[in-house]
Amino acid sequence: MYLHLGSDTVVNTKNIIAILDLESTSMSKNTKDFLKIVEEEGFVRNVSEELPKTFVLCEIDGQSVIYITNISSKALAGRAERFK
């Protein structure tokens, strides 16, 4: 099944590793460092021009991809859960 992340971006739910609230997880120094590194490495895809709320960690064809979206983590997790 596929999950809509915003704009015209959808991902296969099998590729999703984690759906994380950006505000609460970015309080951690480790998470801040992780997000900085993956952005510098080019693994981040911003799928919204609005205020970011969530990042979705995926592995697609052996490559890590982090999607930044304005859709709440609770809404995304609920959508993903409905399709299980």
CA distance 56 to 67: 5
Q: Tell me the pLDDT tens digit for each residue of 45-66.
A: 999 989 999 999 999 999 999 9
| Domain residue limits at 39 | 2-82
Half-sphere exposure of 76 (CA within 13 A, CB side): 29
**pLDDT category of residue 84 using cuts at 50, 70 and 90:** low
Count of domains observed in the chain: 1
Strands 63-69 and 44-46: what pairing?
A: parallel
pTM for the model stands at 0.90
Q: What is the SS3 assignment for 12?
A: strand
